[in-house]
Amino acid sequence: MFDRSADLRVESIVIGISHRGKLNVLGNVVRKPFSQIFSEFTGGTKPVNDVGLYMGTVYETLHLSALPNYTTGGTIHIVVNNQVAFTTDPQAGRSSQYCTDVAKALNAPIFHQISRVRNTGVKPEILNTVGKAITTLPDTFKPHRAVKKIFELRRQMIETEEGIDWAIAEALAFATLPMEGNHVRLSGQDVERGTFSHRHFVLHNQETGEKYCPQDNILLNQNEEMFTVNNGSLSEFGVLGFELGYSMENPNSLVIWEAQFSDFANGAQVIFDQFLSSGESKWLRQTGLVVLLPHGYDGQGPEHSSAQMEYFLQISDDNPFVIPEMAPTLRKQIQECNWQVVNVTTPANYFHVLRCQIHRVKQLCPFPYDLIQRELKRYSNAEVTWCQEEPMNMGAYSYIAPRLGTVMKTLVRGTVEDVKYVGRAPSAATATSFYQVHVKGQTEPVEKALQLETINNPF
């Protein structure tokens, strides 16, 4: 197509492309020198850089195609099998037979070309029983050899009770709830396998293509409807809205929506703003919906790093200058907040949070005033510092600082001005995709937080 365009004296070509396959097209189709491609990943003087992926706006682009001042005079859309990498199966990604059916709304011509298919908090005894059930596969089932190895390692974790990781902790939490009569529903992009290839709730027989879900085979004659896991379509707004409504119908159902990456939650912003954060205060309707937002700085750039927890903390409705009634028997702090923000740091934390056996494990909102006071009393001469990996204008700092100040004022330890900050400097972007810059941003806050000298704000 490029060569033919050159023959026809086309002066310029504008390409919009998904991130997977982008470098291949640049190097082998556009013939951009590989030296230029590699140089863009070395860092240079750019402080942040963009990440190599973008949001698809196919439907919106099609509807703009013939509008005055928006039309390009014609666009060629090349769809290669529409396999969205390993994100979702076509059956879970759309309702029509072909992804190109959306163009029928504009009477646009669609041509199909067949291409080559290449070969390519529970009792230990209960946890032990459940753990064996979810790590044992039928003798006749032939999983992928890598998945088989994963399940063998999980079985070893259960038998030795050592090395419990995030995936098995989550699986145990989900598996114990149906035994107690609670329905579990998990949805989102690629949740069956897990974005990071860690979950494997739905396995595929490599010989027959048959599916097998270990979570459906914990109890004898178990009702498969007690546990539901399904890959959602590529719409954060639509799927989260559906799960919100689903969660309000059954209080005995643990309904979970997981963002493929935490940054993608902004695609469902209106659901968070209008329904989740304020629904109870507006309509007196509660929901137990759990939203999982994978958050962490691994050098993957501004679209694969941050849940922007500062948004969720700033929109919480607790008063930063008043310490509430903390008596566990009253549970007022939990009942009177509009939502809970929890940053779990161990598999055990994650297990207990999902089962709601504890309420203040790595919990930021509602703020654990009682636990903070207890710890500060133990270190009466210590300097109080908040350390985070996010930039200063993001993360939990702006939420934590006034509340720490309130605790310190109560203990006559100072005010909010005495709360020191250690972390990245303020930034417009959430993260960098330059590895060297990322490593520097990770190591410097740790070194500064552990230094013996007094920490001076702001950095």
Q: How far is CA 93 from CA 83, 197, 233, 238, 256, in A?
A: 10, 19, 4, 12, 18
Structure tokens at 448: 């500064």
Nearest alpha carbon to residue 258 among 268, 245, 246: 268
Query: Torsions phi, psi of 203, nearest 5?
Result: -105, 155
In terms of pTM, does the model score above 0.85? Answer: no
Summarize pLDDT for 44-80 with one digit per residue, the tens: 545 555 555 555 667 777 888 888 777 777 788 888 7
369-449 maps to CATH 3.40.50.11610: yes
Name the DSSP letter for residue 454: P
Q: What is the mean pLDDT of residues 117-142?
A: 83
Taking a C-beta distance cutoff of 8 angstroms, is the pair 311, 339 a contact? Answer: no
Burial classification of residue 334, based on how many CB atoms lie within 10 Å of its CB (0-12 exposed, 13-18 middle, 19 or more buried): middle
Domains 124-365 and 369-449 are alike in CATH topology: yes
Query: Torsions phi, psi of 131, nearest 5?
Result: -60, -40
Percent of the chain scored above 70 by pLDDT? 88
User: Domain boundaries in the chain?
Assistant: 2-106, 124-365, 369-449
- Exposure string of 147-180, with b = 16+ CB inside 10 Å and e = fewer, is beebbeebbebbeeeeebebbbbbbbbbbbbbbe
Give the pLDDT of residue 328. 63
pLDDT at 43 over 60: no
124-365 maps to CATH 3.40.50.12470: yes
Confidence of residue 359 (pLDDT cuts 50, 70, 90): very low
Summarize pLDDT for 81-117 with one digit per residue, the tens: 666 555 667 677 778 888 888 888 888 898 887 766 5
Average of per-residue pLDDT values in the chain:
83
Q: What is the mean pLDDT of residues 416-445?
A: 86
Taking a C-beta distance cutoff of 8 angstroms, is the pair 320, 396 a contact? Answer: no
Nearest alpha carbon to residue 236 among 261, 202, 206, 203: 261
Confidence of residue 120 (pLDDT cuts 50, 70, 90): very low
pLDDT at 141 over 70: yes
Name the DSSP letter for residue 117: P
Give the pLDDT of residue 360. 44
